[in-house]
Amino acid sequence: MHDVSGSSAYGVAAVKSALSLLVAPLALFASPAAAQMAQTLETDLRPSESTSSHTPAVSALGRVSVTAGARFVSEYISRGIAFSDKPSLQPSVTMRIALPELTNGAVTNVSVFAGNWNSMQFDDPGLGQQSSGSLRGWYEADLYAGVSMKLGDSVAISGTYFRYVSPSNSFRGYNDLEFIVSYDDSALWSGGAANVGFSLAPALRMVQEAGRPGRKDALYIQPSLTPSLRVGGHSSKVRASVPLVLGLSDHYYRDAAGKDETVGFFRTGLTLAGSDFVGVPGLTATTGVDLWLLNDRVANGLDDIEVVGRAGFSMAL
């Protein structure tokens, strides 16, 4: 992502607003009807972790599937850097084509995908950034394409190319190359943990910038655990997760003097996700609060602690 400067005063009112995004939708999850659980919980304000790392089975959605959705966030933070201190709407769409003919031994669930992810504000993005032209408010439009597969029953890998552009001329475009490897540890648990579908979901995300304006291209590394479980027993369609995410890089994080910092942030919080939301097959709703604990030496446009509320939905077709 691109660098911005400035500070973000996030007081009690902002915290209450973030918490309200988590609490308000909960009543809609109350139905005890059995439903397929969401297989991927959103853990970052980027398209990749909710698209490229999840490969649905061919029998579930057919060879060609389309997932569309939108998310509202109280503040746009990504990888520990502020991009807008204003509320943002983030719609996205992904098309995936399953390639079962490439299944070979341990390699399964091969697919290719392409999509678009956006971030829009109802005003200027803030933080001293410009917003100009006929598309003011359309802060970011990302195009991405990649391939994903599973190795055996538990390991998923994906590679994705991203092109970042700003229709409102808030930043200059550049590219990212991303690799994600994740492990499904749910089969390792027994007893009560297995009864609630508990898993730790360890993952490693690596992003190499290409053509980043204004500084050296950075390698971003993000190890994470996402402990999660079903809420309400076997018939529940609600899943809760607590992301534990660390952001590391060689050149991505810099102090006010331009010196590189290795550690950018630690992030945790709470996410609630429900599939077949309000009885609609394929509709998944999510809501959550992110707690960012940031390196105070990094020029990130943020306070040392930030709380961000988010709520959204996606529809698989």
- The predicted pLDDT at position 39 comes to 35
4: in domain: no
Query: Which tens digit of pLDDT belongs to each residue from 90-134?
Result: 999 999 999 999 988 899 999 999 999 999 998 889 899 999 988
pTM score above 0.75? yes
Q: Rounded to whole angstroms, what are the CA distances from 74 to 77, 81, 151, 177?
A: 10, 15, 37, 28
Q: What CATH number is associated with residue 91?
A: 2.40.128
Each residue's pLDDT tens digit, 198-253: 999 999 999 999 999 888 999 999 999 999 999 987 778 899 999 999 999 999 99
Cα–Cα distance between 48 and 282 in angstroms, integer? 19
Q: Look at residue 55 and tell me if it is in a domain.
A: yes
Q: Is residue 250 part of a domain?
A: yes
Give a yes or no: residue 3 inside a domain. Answer: no
Reported in sequence order, the residue ranges of the chain that DSSP labels E, i.e. its strands, are 64-73, 76-78, 81-84, 88-98, 107-121, 138-151, 155-165, 174-183, 203-210, 219-225, 228-231, 238-241, 244-254, 260-274, 283-294, 305-316
Give residue-wise pLDDT tens across range 4-36: 444 444 444 444 455 455 544 444 443 333 222
Give the range of the structural domain holding residue 295, as residue numbers without chain letter: 12-316
Residue 74 lies in a domain: yes
Q: How many domains does the chain have?
A: 1
